[in-house]
Amino acid sequence: MSQKDEKKDALKRESEEKITTRAKERSVANHIAYWIVGVIAVLAIIVAIIGFNYVNSSLQPYDSKNDADIVVKVPIGSSSKDIAKQLESEKVIKSASVFNFYIKAHNFTDFQAGYYAFKQSMPMSGVVNKLNKGGSAEVPVSAKNKVIVREGITIDQVGDAIQSGTKNSVKFKKSDFMKLMKDQSYLNSLAKKYPELLSSSMKQKNVRYHLEGYLAPATYAVYKGITLKQLVNSMVSNENTVLQPYYSTIKEKDMTVHQVLTLASLVEREGVTSEDRAKIAGVFFNRFDVNMPIQSDISVMYALNTHKTKLSNKDTSVKSPYNLYKHTGYGPGPFNTPSRDSIQAVLNPTDRSANYLYFFADLKTGKITYSKTFKEHQSRYDSLDQ
């Protein structure tokens, strides 16, 4: 074989080897590609299965065996995402993200604010359907415990009502409530949330309880899962609702909410009928005009932290900023929880022009007698004793 033929043969073998090598490389690359695609496909299937199981599980009840009510309050202005997070945190649903996916897929929008009674045994469809129907303005009556805040009771008595009214699944102690009434951090948070309602109270010094007079009279349902703070929050929120129509009037009269509630708390206990409460409020304002102490027995009993049918000279001389026999003006603040009727009486006092400065009630008949002078007042009071 000539040298020329040998070179051709060598080039041919080299070319064949390159082709073979490239073929092997392509084969390996194809195998790797197929392997990667296979792994991705398997992973995709696994993810799909996991995702399906997660979504399917999330659509099921949180606890199919639990039929206890979970009352959830949806605040005004809550978005669907806000509601989803709330339901997840309250353990009504398993997943907020699945909830959001579900309502989008079924075109549910604009859920209403209010109270809703859910159960962990509800599937997500049941939860969404209940939301779609709308909530109630009040806590559902299905709640087992109820706390009744009556008109004219003090913070101390509210504590009694809370302890006696929560004996079933939810139990609150009066001592914990009274401690909360002194929790400055908690009070500050409420004042920040309700500045129009609480700012004047928070500025006042020598106050025994800044929330005295600010826990609205009502019946409060106590449900499983509610905290003591949430219960008190609802009382303060209700008071804010009660006063909302009067805020502008209070400003027009150059008064503070604290002053209005203070006088209203005295009017609440001094009078019974709307007519008498408005007249008594007029008497108090007349006394302010002549720089005369209000001299209400209610203030002295609050200062003494007791109840008496008659007060002694020693009682009316008790050293306390709440004693309005000794001090002029409004005093530190409310003496109890006034009703809407008493608040209206303070904002619309009557018989101011009659210049009454004194009054007393016949405990047998309930009739209230008004006088312009102390001499007239004493004479009528003495004749009553006879």
CB 253 within 8 A of CB 350: no
Domain C-terminal end among 202, 222, 244: 244
Task: pLDDT tens for the chain, 386 residues: list them.
Answer: 566 555 556 556 666 666 666 666 666 666 776 777 777 767 767 666 765 666 677 778 888 877 766 778 888 878 888 888 888 887 888 888 888 888 888 887 778 888 888 888 889 888 888 888 887 776 665 555 788 899 999 999 999 999 988 876 678 999 999 999 999 999 999 999 999 999 999 999 999 999 999 999 988 888 777 899 999 999 999 999 999 999 999 999 999 999 999 999 999 999 989 999 999 999 999 999 999 999 999 999 999 988 877 888 898 889 999 999 999 999 999 999 999 999 999 999 998 888 899 988 887 777 888 999 988 888 887 777 65
Domain C-terminal end among 133, 161, 176: 133
Distance CA 265, CA 338 (A): 5
104 inside domain: yes
Read off the tokens for 89.
């945190």
Do 251 and 317 lie in a common domain? Answer: yes
Where are the alpha helices (H) located in 90-154, listed in sequence order?
A: 96-105, 124-133
Do 240 and 291 lie in a common domain? Answer: no
Do 315 and 225 lie in a common domain? Answer: no
pTM: 0.65
Closest of 164, 237, 247 to residue 200, by C-alpha: 247
CB 101 within 8 A of CB 121: no
3-state DSSP assignment of residue 148: strand
CB 346 within 8 A of CB 253: no
Do 114 and 197 lie in a common domain? Answer: no
Do 254 and 380 lie in a common domain? Answer: yes
Distance CA 75, CA 13 (A): 84
